[in-house]
A and B are shown apart, each in its own frame.
Chain A
């Protein structure tokens, strides 16, 4: 299972890497808000198409990567709407599924175009409490080390068991081992930072100014969607 690298790697290599996080937050966040606000049909479908177009054509995210991250979310949604099919019927289940598709598309667009350090830097500039941003950055830094440790422990377990399934006890001991090593890694990191005279971790990300054109285009697109939804309210009731 991939946890840390892929989405962030895609975000680091996307064509929108140098674009300000504010641009991407306004586009992705605005569409996400509209997906939650407007009726699922037809607006969630329109929002899904816009998000996919922005990701594939604008940010030049590879289609395979887009589908690879969207597919599991849709599989979850499909399994999830089953009780709604049984309880409230197909129309309601389809509505929840389509709205979920739009929400997942917007979130994936944001995640695939905005690396986490950029978002944290934007959060700090937006006066999100410093202690929260600093803690988030430390967690982000440690997740990479913990995941690497996890992979090493899993490989060791696989080799010891020659590919067999580990017992519950062995898996739990590995998990305990992972936690103790994670705490040791944190202590080493803290000692290293302290020896270098660092209080906390510096957030290093290039400062990108928001593009007025991009922001205007994003807001205009969202207003057009909202106006269309209001005008067609009698046909597609809220």
Chain B
């Protein structure tokens, strides 16, 4: 995640911004309906900012870190995630010089759209298949985190295709380099999400979209 400034051609940056736009529009309208929970949503976004600030350098102007996607999806719901991701990514660019402004659209797409929806759909699918709550969360978090990185790999592969193997070869190359840091991070993040969610649920007093469904842990 976090494709840095200058790493994407302007046309790619614009295209990813256009791709994120409808999700953002939907997300903003969702935030209006969640107005009662805005302080808690803001706290969740602030927490994600802190979590994703723990970064490791990686390929082609990007970095690896716990995505916090699953946690954010549970706390805010997948529909609210694009807007919250936009805010978190903007602050990371302006407060920590991490990420970028022209690459904001691409980063919102991977962190705010691809990751949360993959996590949400996988969790629902795992629950329907009769997997227990905790294995379902672990599976959805780990694969959702990897989906975020797969999306980033695709974005980078489209921008920097391999001279001989094209986009597919470049995608595999970027994904392979990411996997060195991201496979362990995704595995740890899955267990981390379960522990943190348990603590939040046990602390009580929180009613946010998505969280109540997980309260049966």
Contacts and interface: CB of A to CB of B under 8 A. Distances in A.
* A and B held together in a complex: yes
Interface of A: 1-4, 7-8, 29, 32-33, 35-37, 44, 69-70, 72-73, 75-77, 79-84, 87-88, 96, 99-104, 106-108, 110-111, 114, 116, 119, 129, 131-132, 134-136, 138-143, 145-147, 150, 168, 172-173, 175-180, 182-187, 189-190, 200
11 contacts: A3-B49, A73-B5, A73-B97, A76-B57, A100-B5, A135-B38, A135-B41, A141-B42, A173-B199, A176-B198, A187-B205
Given A3-B96, A146-B46, A136 B51 contact: no
Interface of B: 4-7, 9-10, 13, 28, 31-32, 35, 38-47, 49-51, 53-54, 57-63, 71, 83-84, 86-88, 90-91, 93-97, 100-102, 160, 162-163, 170, 173-174, 177, 188, 191-192, 195-196, 198-200, 203, 205-206
Given A80-B59, A84-B60, A116-B95, A185 B31 contact: no
A114 B94 CA distance: 9
A211 B11 CA distance: 31
B35 A182 contact: no
B42 A81 contact: no
Contacts of B173: 83, 87
A180 B95 contact: no
B208 to A, nearest CB: 9
A189 B39 contact: yes
A80 B62 contact: yes
A1 B58 CA distance: 19
Given A7-B95, A146-B47, A101 B6 contact: yes
Those 10 A-B pairs whose CB atoms lie nearest each other, nearest first: A103-B6, A103-B5, A186-B43, A176-B199, A138-B42, A100-B6, A190-B39, A36-B10, A142-B46, A176-B196
Contact of B83 (A99, A135, A180, A185): A135
Decide if the interface of chain A is mainly helix, strand, loop or mixed: helix
Nearest to A96: B7
B95 A135 contact: no
A106 B6 CA distance: 10
A130 B44 CA distance: 19
Given A32-B101, A135-B41, A182-B43, A83 B5 contact: no
Contacts of B50: 3, 143, 146-147, 150, 178
Contacts of A100: 4-7, 61
Given A135-B41, A179-B200, A83 B177 contact: yes
A219 to B, nearest CB: 19
A80 B160 CA distance: 12
A32 B94 CA distance: 14
